[in-house]
Amino acid sequence: MNAITTERLRKTFGGVAAVDDLSIVIQKGKIIGIIGPNGSGKTTLTNVLTGIHRMDGGVVVVGKKERTRIKSCEVFGLGLTRTFQNVRVFEQVSVLDNVLIAITKKGVLGSLFERASAAQIQNADAVLARVGLTEKRDALAAELSYGQRKLLEIARALATDAEIILFDEPYAGLFPEMVKRVSGIMQELKAEGKTVILIEHDMALIRELCDHVLVMDAGKLLAEGTPEAVLSNPSVIEAYLGV
């Protein structure tokens, strides 16, 4: 079973293809690593898959339908969510509310007369406990440290209860004990049957967590396979060393 498939997916910026006719398959229920040198198009791929950027060509199959356009407000409905490489939490909103947003009603009339219920708040608190932000619950997100914001973003992603979660460099800027906690979450998600897509530069983490790794270079798929196979592939080593 596949969670996401792309066929000749393309995104260009002023004539330069950041994602260059990329065809990949993301298997369901696995932790899929995406690695590649800086500027190889990993974040752009994430942005196209979540409707932040409009694709310039190709097809994405997600949620049983072939799509040539993905709108970012549909992404939640597709059971897909993400975190951002350059952390994006709702700064002027409390930590708890950052998580509740993903849980509570979305329609105007439904939400206008809804106060977060005890069950919803309990759910949000459980998610905050999972990432270790319980103590910061009532602080404004703007008051959090960089690492705490990254954790809050992960919490918000967890709270959407999406089937597919894209993590764009979630470990950057985290303390070692936080790294362990996040790795634990990745494994729990997999155990729950969810699909995790992990963009990461730390090869030790890739080896530890991933079932399958895709290597991107200049917007194309350079190699794929198990972490061992991929990380010993000469062309991958070459791409990373920039020979």
Partner 1 sequence: MDIAAQLTVNSLIAGSLYALVAMSFNLIFGATRFFNLAHGALATVGAYGTFYVGVVLGLPLSVAVAGGVLTAALAGYALERLVFRPLRARKASNLVLLIASLGILIAVEAILAIFFTSQFKTLSVLTGAAQTIHIGSAVITHVQLTMFASAVLVCGTLWLVLSKTSFGRAIRAVSDDAEVAKIVGINTNVIIAALFVIGSAIVGLSGVLYGLDTGIEPRLGFMLLLKGVIAAIVGGIGNVYGGFLGAFLVGFAENFGIWFISGEWKEAIAFGLLVLFLVFRPQGILGKKHT
Ligand X SMILES: Nc1ncnc2c1ncn2[C@@H]1O[C@H](COP(=O)(O)OP(=O)(O)OP(=O)(O)O)[C@@H](O)[C@H]1O
Note the residues at the interface with ligand X (CB under 6 A).
Answer: 13, 18, 36, 38-44, 85
Amino acid at 110: G
In the block, residue with structure tokens 């990254």 = 150
| Closest distance of CB 18 from ligand X, Å | 3
160 binding Mg ion? (CB under 5 A): no
User: Alpha carbon of 73 to those of 32, 63, 80, 235: distances in Å?
Assistant: 24, 15, 11, 38
Question: Considering the rule CB under 8 A, would residue 110 count as an interface residue with partner 1?
Answer: yes
Rounded CA separation 173/64 (Å): 36
Minimum CB separation from partner 1 for residue 96, in Å? 10
Contact 190, 29 (CB under 8 A): yes
CA 232 to chain centre: 26
Figure out which of the listed residues 113, 176, 241, 242 binds partner 1, where binding follows CB under 8 A. Answer: 113
Q: Please identify, among the stretches 19-27, 30-38, 69-77, 229-237, the one whose residues bind partner 1 according to the rule CB under 8 A.
A: 69-77
Provide the Cα torsion 19, 20, 25, 31; round to 10°. Answer: -40
- Smallest gap from Cβ 24 to ligand X, in A, equals 14
Beta bridge partners of 234: none
Residue number, 42 or 150, with CB nearest to Mg ion: 42
Beta-bridge partners for 27: 2
43 part of the interface to Mg ion, by CB under 5 A: yes
**119 near partner 1 (CB under 8 A):** no
Whichever of 77 and 184 has its CB closer to partner 1, that residue is: 77
**In 3-state terms, what secondary structure has residue 13?**
strand
Stretches 2-10, 109-117, 189-197, 235-243: which one binds partner 1 (CB under 8 A)?
Answer: 109-117
Distance CA 156, CA 133 (A): 12
Number of residues that bind Mg ion (CB under 5 A): 3
The angle subtended at Cα 98 by Cα 93 and Cα 101, nearest 5°, is 110
Cβ closest to Mg ion, residue 80 vs residue 124:
80
How many residues bind partner 1, per CB under 8 A? Answer: 37
In the complex, least distance from residue 75 CB atom to Mg ion, rounded to whole angstroms: 18
Reported as half-sphere exposure (CB side, CA atoms, 13 A), residue 195 has a value of 22
Q: Which residues lie across from 10 on neighbouring strands?
A: 57
Among 42, 130, 150, 156, binds partner 1 (CB under 8 A): 156
Can you give the binding site for Mg ion, defined by CB under 5 A? Answer: 42-43, 85
Can you give the binding site for partner 1, defined by CB under 8 A? Answer: 50-52, 71-73, 75-77, 81-82, 84, 88-93, 97, 100-102, 104-108, 110-116, 140, 156, 160
